Structures are given as C-alpha cells and as structure tokens.
Structure 1
C-alpha cells in the first residue's frame, strides 16, 4: 500500500527537523507493508491563515494529488486542516482522506462531543466551516474550534519537536480546560504537525482529566489505510452521483489550461 501525504507548503529547509520527526513518528504506526511518502508544493505561498490564501493554495494541493494518483499511489492524505477535500475527491479515483474529516469521524466513536484546538483564529474559522459542511455540529460543543494564544509559529513548531511541554502544551491545555468545562469529552489537535509531536512525547490526555487528546494526523492516516483496504476488497471508493459525479475530461482540461496548470494547445 502506497500512501502520499500532500503538505500545504514547500519543503522549507529550516523546518527539516520537523519534517523528519513527523515522518518517523507517523510511519511507525502504519500497517506492515504500507509506505508513506511526503510531497510538498513547489509554488506554495506558504500561508493558509486566510480564506483567500487557503483558496489559492487549494488548487496546488489538488494538482499535487492528481499527480500522486498518476504516479501510482493507492491513497492520498491532505495533511492540513485547511484542505480542499471535496474538490480532490471529485478529481481522483482513489481514496482521499483529510486530517480534519477523518479525525472528526474517529472522535464520534470516542465520545459524545468533541472540540478542536488549532493554531490561529483564521484557521479556527476554516475548520468550523468544515464542521458545518460535514454535518457534525450536533456532535461538538458550542464554539467547537478554538485557538491557542499566542498563535503558533515556526519557532514553536521546531521547539515542539523536542520540548512540547515548554510552551505548546500549556497553551493547548489552557484552551482544553475551557472546552471540557463546556462539555467536550474528546480534544482533537487542529494541526497536522502538533498531533504526532504530542503523541511522540507521550502526551495523550488533558492533565487532571480523563479527556483524550487525539493525534489527528495519525488517526486520519489509519482511516486512510482502512479506506484503501475497502477499495481493494470491494472496489468502492466514492459515489459517482451528485457532488462527485464525473466531469467531462475536455471541460476540466480546458479550465486547468486556462490557469496554466496544463500545457496550452
């Protein structure tokens, strides 16, 4: 089984310790014989904390997913909560998972009401929009997505590769206790990177409670393994009706050419 993790940014060399740590951490959880490759975006602006910036970046993520399918991958993982999940599923004929949707579905089997703690207020807005779109508002708390304060940055991410308890965990727990007081019994880490780093450090529940803190990326990747297994056993990947109905190849090629995503005539 070959899986491809699509990142929302380019491979910034300054963050190489982060990429290596996350890859090593999540690969250790995969089923025997499963292989995970990282792919980064060549032209990403490296910024998704804006609805418009996310919109621009989504095109590049879908294009990377299309390339992954053509290169023979069995499943694609969109490794950012700011993701073009439905757009990618529309275009691909292999299973597509997102860190957001798949971890939220997992949370439904873990508790009654979940909350998501993310890395910025703009990201919180995007994730709450997805919760509404997925029809999950009845299974989370009021104001289901909240951000740490101060917001995350590259320095905090790098620090969390070796010492998440220094600054990140206190910021997360300050928000988590508020969410728990309002009824949350599952906390999802609303960042594709911090989840594996917390699990690697042995942090799995909010201190002083029985509330789990879910490594959303690893859980979502395990769901993708199951999705690929279902596809291989039954031939079922997605519905071909309504939202994911087929598109005339000529029409979509014309649109992609107009944006310079394919060579012109």
Structure 2
C-alpha cells in the first residue's frame, strides 16, 4: 500500500526540524507494509489563514493529489485542516482522507461530544464550516471550534518540536478546560502538526481529567489505511454519483488550462 501525505505549503527550510520530526513520528505509526511519502506544494504562498488564500491554496493541493494518483499511490492524505476534501474526491478515483473529516468521525466512536482546538480564529471559522458541511453539528459542543491564545506562529511550532510543555500545552489546556465544562469528552487537536508533536511528548489526556486529546493527524492517517483496505477488498473507493460524479474531461482540461495548470 502506497500513501501520499500532501502538505499545504512549500517546504520552508526554516521549519526543517518540524518537517523531520513530523515525518518520523507519523511514519512510525503506519503498518509495516505501508509506504508513506510526503510531498510539499510548488508555488504555494505558504498561508492559509484567509478564506481567499485557502481557496487559492486548495487548487494546488488538488493538483498535487492528481499527481499522486497518476504516480500510482493507493490513497491521498490532505495534511491540513484547511483542505479541499470534496474537490479532491470529485477528481480522484482513489481514497482521499483529510485530517478533519476522518478525525471527527473517529471522535464519534470514542466519545459523545467532541471539540476542536485550533491555531487561529480564521482557521476556526473554516473548521466550523466543515463541521456543518459534514453534518456533525449534533455530535459536538456548542461553539465547537476554539482557538489557543495567543495564536500559533512559526516560533511556537519550532519550540513544540522539543518543548511543547513550555507554551503550547498551557495554551491548549486553558481552552480544553473551557470545552470540557461545556460538555466535550474528546478534544481534537486542530492542527496537522501539533497533534503528532503532543503525542510524541506523551501528552494524551487533559490534565486532571480523563478526556483524551486526539492526535488528529495520526488517527486520520490510520483511517486512510482502512479506507484503502476497504477499496482494495470491495472495489469501491467512493461514490461516483451526485456530488462526486465524474466531470467531462474536456471541461476540466479547459478549466485547468485557463489557470495555466496544464
């Protein structure tokens, strides 16, 4: 089984310790027979904390997903909560997983009501939009997506590689206790990078509670393994009716050509 993890940005050399740690941590979680490769975007602006910037970035992510399918991968993983999941599913014929949808579905199996703690208010808005779109509003708390304060930045990401207890965990726990008071019994880490870093550090429960803090990235990646397994056993990777029905190749080719993608 060959899986391709697509990052939402270009490979910023300043974050190399983060990339190396994330890749090592999540690669150790997949089954032995799974080949997991990581790809970054070419030409990405490296910014998704804007509805418009996310929209632009989504085009590049779907293009990378199409390339992965053409290169023979069995499944594609969109490694950001700001993801073009349905757009990619429309275009690909192999399983496509996202951090958000797959970890939310996993939360339904281990708790009654989940909450997501993310890295900025703009990201929170995008995730809440997805919760509504996925029809999961009844299985999360009121105001289900909340943000650490101050917001995450590159400095916090790099610090969390070696010392998440310094600033990241206190910021997350301050919000997590509010979510628990409002009924959450599962906390999802609303960032594709912080989840593996917290799990690597052994952080799995909100302090003083039995509420799990889910490494959303690794959980969603394991779900992709299962999705590919189901597709290989049954021959069904997705529905080809309704929203994900195939599009006339000539129409898509014209749209891609108009944007200079081909």
TM-score, reference length from structure 2? 1.00
1:116 aligns with 2:116: yes
User: What pairs with 1:1-265 in structure 2 (closer than 5 Å)?
Assistant: 1-262=1-262
Q: Deviations over 1:81-101 (max 9, x none)?
A: 000000000000000000000
The residue matched to 2:256 in structure 1 has which SS?
helix
Q: Deviations over 1:121-170 (max 9, x none)?
A: 00000000000000000000000000000000001000000100000000
Output the CA distance in 2 between the equivalents of 1:27 and 1:220. 13
Q: CA deviation at 1:35?
A: 1.2
Task: Provide the alpha-carbon RMSD of the alignment.
Answer: 0.4
Q: CA deviation at 1:188?
A: 0.1
Q: CA deviation at 1:244?
A: 0.4
Output the CA distance in 2 between the equivalents of 1:174 and 1:110. 23
The residue matched to 2:162 in structure 1 has which SS?
coil
TM-score, reference length from structure 1? 0.98
Q: CA deviation at 1:222?
A: 0.1
Q: CA deviation at 1:32?
A: 1.4
Q: CA deviation at 1:251?
A: 0.7
Return structure 1 stretches of 4+ with deviation > 2 angstroms.
none
Output the CA distance in 2 between the equivalents of 1:35 and 1:23. 12
Output the CA distance in 2 between the equivalents of 1:242 and 1:50. 29
Output the CA distance in 2 between the equivalents of 1:167 and 1:93. 42
Gaps of 5+ in 1: none
Output the CA distance in 1 between the equivalents of 2:91 and 2:27. 27
- Equivalenced residue count is 262
Q: Deviations over 1:1-40 (max 9, x none)?
A: 1110111100001101100100100111101110111100
Output the CA distance in 1 between the equivalents of 2:26 and 2:210. 24
Gaps of 5+ in 2: none
Output the CA distance in 2 between the equivalents of 1:69 and 1:230. 17
